[in-house]
Amino acid sequence: MKKNILLGAHVSISKGFDKAIEEGEKIGCTAIQIFTKSNRSWFAKKISDEEIENFKESLKNSQIKSVVAHASYLINLGSSKKEIEKKSIKSLETELERCEKLGIPILVLHPGAHLNQGEEKCIKQIAKNLDSILKKYSKTKIALETTAGQGTNVGYKFEQIKKIRSLCKQKNKIGACIDTCHIFSAGYNISTPESYKKTIKNFIKIIGLRNLKAIHLNDSKTDFGSRKDRHANIGKGKIPKKTFELIMNDKHFSKIPKILETPIKSEYPKEIKLLRKMVK
């Protein structure tokens, strides 16, 4: 049980896809998250067959049992700007293609931000775009990430993620990713065992456990309900350490990859050790 836990961190591909596996192993990961291209640029350099081969080979020979990808921060399927919406659709297709080539089953995506057009319209637009994009892909699924609700981001309520899914014919290709910093900042209390239980029960009721594809383990620099997306290292923010212990021991999540996206990456080995030790 303890050995099979899927725990790790977001690692860099800047030195190559296979090097991301190596880095993950070095810091004690059994699960990793990667960007398949630069996350702050629209551009994507083609992946060679050799890169794919090397990545798959490294993965096979490693202790990493789960890889998830995270989509570019630039993608906004719910943008009111036509130009951005178009670029976002194209870009997400490219990312899904890359994931399928690399054999990565899950692509985490921020649902989108409405800018000035209102949440309702934004949610419908996201669903429409996801539906037409996902028609073309059958191997990699999208996991919509719960957001802090900063700015005009949607996805800060479980109901909004549910709404996007339920508007899609391709809903079986859409799951969710819980980010602990984000849900805490969005106003889902997880600070006590009771409130934690209630929030998880709520998530399961609204979105469903089988739709949960990944968990991001981040502490929060800002207060409960602040609607700010500011990650802190585990134990250094406003979420009690005890909450992470609850997650690590939650039977619901035993097969879900748990990924750190905390700001000081040199702390990853220590944090992974700490989280692993919490497992009873």
Positive or negative: CA dihedral 71, 13, 181, 241: positive
73 is annotated as an active-site residue:
yes
DSSP letters spanning 61-93? TSS--EEEEE--TT--TT-SSHHHHHHHHHHHH
- Residue sitting closest to Zn ion (CB): 229
State how far the Cα of 42 lies from the Cα of 40, in Å rounded to an integer: 7
Per-residue binding letters, 134-173, with Mn ion (x by CB under 5 A): -----------x----------------------------
Our answer to whether residue 10 is catalytic in this structure is no
Is residue 179 a contact point for Mn ion (CB under 5 A)?
yes
The active-site residue, picked from 18, 25, 85, 110, is 110
At residue 70, φ and ψ (nearest 5 deg) are -120, 130
| 25 forms part of the interface with Zn ion (CB under 5 A) | no
| Type of residue at 190 | I
Contact between 161 and 144 (Cβ < 8 Å): yes
Verify whether residue 216 is a known catalytic residue. yes
- In angstroms, give the least distance from the CB of 185 to Zn ion: 9
HSE-up (13 A, CA, CB side) for residue 205: 7
Region binding Zn ion by CB under 5 A among candidate stretches 32-40, 42-50, 116-124, 226-234: 226-234
Nearest C-alpha neighbor of 9 from the set 278, 257, 199: 257
Examine residue 219 and tell whether it contacts Zn ion (CB under 5 A): no
Q: Which of the listed partners (Zn ion, Mn ion, none) does 98 bind, with a CB threshold of 5 to 8 Å by partner kind?
A: none
What minimum distance in Å lies between the beta carbon of 276 and Zn ion? 23
40: annotated active-site residue = yes
228 in Cβ contact with 280 (< 8 Å): no
- Residue 258 makes contact with Mn ion by CB under 5 A: no
Reference 31, options 110, 112, 108; nearest CA is 108
**Among 18, 23, 119, 229, contact with Zn ion (rule: CB under 5 A):** 229
267 is catalytic: no
Give the per-residue contact string, 179-218, with Zn ion (x = CB under 5 A; - = no): ----------------------------------------
Q: Six-digit token pair at 254?
A: 């035993």
**Binding of Mn ion by 216 (CB under 5 A):** yes
* Residue 231 bears catalytic tag: yes
Reading phi first (left if > 0) and then psi (alpha if -120 to 50, else beta), residue 185 is in: alpha
Whether 70 is catalytic is: yes
- Residue 172: CB minimum distance to Mn ion, A: 22
Q: In whole angstroms, give the CA distance from residue 86 to residue 200.
A: 35
Active site residue 114: no
Active-site residue numbers?
A: 40, 70, 73, 110, 145, 179, 182, 216, 229, 231, 261
Interacting residues with Zn ion (CB under 5 A): 229
Binding site for Mn ion (CB under 5 A): 145, 179, 216, 261
